[in-house]
A and B are shown apart, each in its own frame.
Chain A
C-alpha cells in the first residue's frame, strides 16, 4: 500500500509515503497534521557570564534551530478489531507506536527515545513536534501543574515589553498535563504522562521535549552535566502522548475541552492492574 491509515468510527490518521503521520480525518474533513522528531543541539559556553552559559540541567538553551531526525520512517502496520497501530522506526534510537482504539476520540503515541548518541561530541535535546493548519495566531495554552490552563503568547510577556534574545527557549513553558492551540474552527491538544517542556514556535504547531542528554554543566549549582547512563549507555525513555483534534466550537455540540478533561482523568488516573498467577487447580469454574 502507498497510503497507510489507521482509524475508528471517530477519526482516521493518514500517513505519507515517507512513513510520517500526515493528516487526520474528523467528521469527513481531512486536516493536515504532521508529526516528526527533531533535535536541538545544546549550547556550549564558558559559563563565565550569563549570556555564555551552557545548556544543562537547569536551563534549556539550544545552539541554533532544530534539525530533523530523519527524512524517512520504517513502518509496520497492525490492524485488529481491538486496536490499530503503526509502528515507526525513525532511526536506531527513536521509535514510536501510533495507535487508535475503537470508540476513542484520541490518538495515542507511545515514544521510545534513547540512548541519545554523543559520539559526535554534541549534547542533544529531542522533541516531538506536531504541525497543523490551525491558525493559532501566536497563542497557546499550557497547564499550571495540572490546574488551570494559562494562555501563552509567543514572544510576549504580560507585564513588560519583551525583546527576546533566545526565541526557542524564551518561548518554552512547563507542561505537566496538557498543551493546546486553537482557532475559531479547530482545536488541537496534547496530553503528556510526565512533566515536559513545550511550546508553539509557529502558528499551528505544538512541540514537547521528550529526552535530553548534555555534555556540559550549566554552572547553576548541580556541578554535573545532564548525562545519565545505565549499563554503560545513555538512558532510554519511553512514554506516551495523547492527541485530541476536533472542532473548537464552544457553543456547539462537541465540547472538545470537556473531552480532554475526561481523557486526562482516564490517562493520569488509570485503572490499577493487579495480576495473580493461579495454580493449575484454580480453574475458571472455581474463579467464577
Chain B
C-alpha cells in the first residue's frame, strides 16, 4: 500500500495544470520526472510480487520497466547481457491479444521457445543508425530480436525462453538493402 501511495501522490501533483500542459519551468519539469521515477520504482515491487503470485513460482521476475528504462532508445541491460532470459507478457485487456516483441540485443544467433516446447519464429532487425548514434546512448545492442507473441490470455500471461546460441553465424539476420 505504501508503494502504491508514492504513485498516488505523484499523480496528485501531476494533475496540476502546468504538468498537464507542459507549461512548467524546466527545473519543475525535472522535479516531476524525479517524482515519477521514484513512483515507478516503488510500484515495481508490487508488479513483481503480483507477477510471481500469478506465475506461482518463486522466481524473481523483474518488471522490464524497472530494468529496461532505456527501451525507448532500443537499449536494455538485461537482454543485451544475458545468455538466456525469460520474457513474460502480461495482457491487461479483457480479451485475448497478441504482441510483436522487440528486444534490444547484440548481433548474434538467438533461439526463442515457448512454454509448450515449441520453437517460435524470430528475426533480428537492425536498429537504425540514427538511434545507435545518439550521443547519450550507451548500449551494445545493434539489433532488435523480433518475435510474435500470440494468443495472450485476457488478464493473463504468456512466457518465452530466449537463449543466445553459441554459433558465430547469425541465423536470424535478414538482408537489408540501402538506397
Note all chain A residues with C-beta closer than 8 A to B15.
none
CB of B39 within 8 Å of the partner chain = no
Note all chain A residues with C-beta closer than 8 A to B129.
89
Contacting residue for A271 out of B22, B97, B103, B122, CB 8 A: B97
Contacting residue for B24 out of A101, A222, A230, CB 8 A: A222
Q: Are B64 and A273 in contact (CB under 8 A)?
A: yes
CB of A82 within 8 Å of the partner chain = yes
Q: How far is the CA of A57 from the CA of B26 in the complex (A)?
A: 11
Q: How far is the CA of A79 from the CA of B126 in the complex (A)?
A: 11
CB of A249 within 8 Å of the partner chain = no
CB of B146 within 8 Å of the partner chain = yes
* Nearest chain B residue, comparing its CB with the CB of A112: B130
Tell me the chain B residues, 62-97 only, with Cβ under 8 Å from chain A: 62-65, 67-68, 72-73, 76, 78-79, 81-93, 97
Note all chain A residues with C-beta closer than 8 A to B86.
275-276, 278, 287
Note all chain A residues with C-beta closer than 8 A to B56.
none
The interface on chain B, measured as residues whose beta carbon lies within 8 A of the other chain's beta carbons, has a size of 69
Please give the distance in Å from B32's CB to the nearest CB on chain A. 13
Note all chain B residues with C-beta closer than 8 A to A95.
128, 130-131
Q: How far is the CA of A8 from the CA of B38 in the complex (A)?
A: 42
CB of B176 within 8 Å of the partner chain = yes
Q: How far is the CA of A118 from the CA of B147 in the complex (A)?
A: 40
From A36-44, A158-166, A262-270, the one touching the partner chain is A262-270
CB of A74 within 8 Å of the partner chain = yes
* Nearest chain B residue, comparing its CB with the CB of A238: B72
Q: Are A75 and B84 in contact (CB under 8 A)?
A: no
Note all chain B residues with C-beta closer than 8 A to A271.
89-92, 97, 99, 149, 152
Interface string of B24-36 (1 = CB under 8 A from A): 1110010000000
The interface on chain A, measured as residues whose beta carbon lies within 8 A of the other chain's beta carbons, has a size of 50
Note all chain B residues with C-beta closer than 8 A to A85.
125
Note all chain B residues with C-beta closer than 8 A to A220.
23
Q: Are B179 and A277 in contact (CB under 8 A)?
A: no
* Nearest chain B residue, comparing its CB with the CB of A221: B23
Which of A95, A231, A274 is most buried by chain B, counting CB atoms within 10 A of its CB? A274
A-B contact pairs, 21 of them (CB 8 A): A58-B21, A77-B176, A77-B177, A82-B147, A89-B128, A112-B128, A228-B26, A228-B29, A265-B93, A270-B99, A272-B63, A273-B64, A273-B87, A273-B88, A273-B101, A277-B62, A277-B78, A278-B82, A278-B86, A284-B113, A287-B115
A57-B21, A273-B68 given; name 17 further pairs at CB < 8 Å. Answer: A76-B178, A77-B178, A78-B125, A79-B174, A82-B121, A83-B146, A269-B93, A270-B99, A273-B87, A273-B101, A274-B88, A275-B79, A275-B87, A276-B78, A277-B84, A277-B85, A284-B113
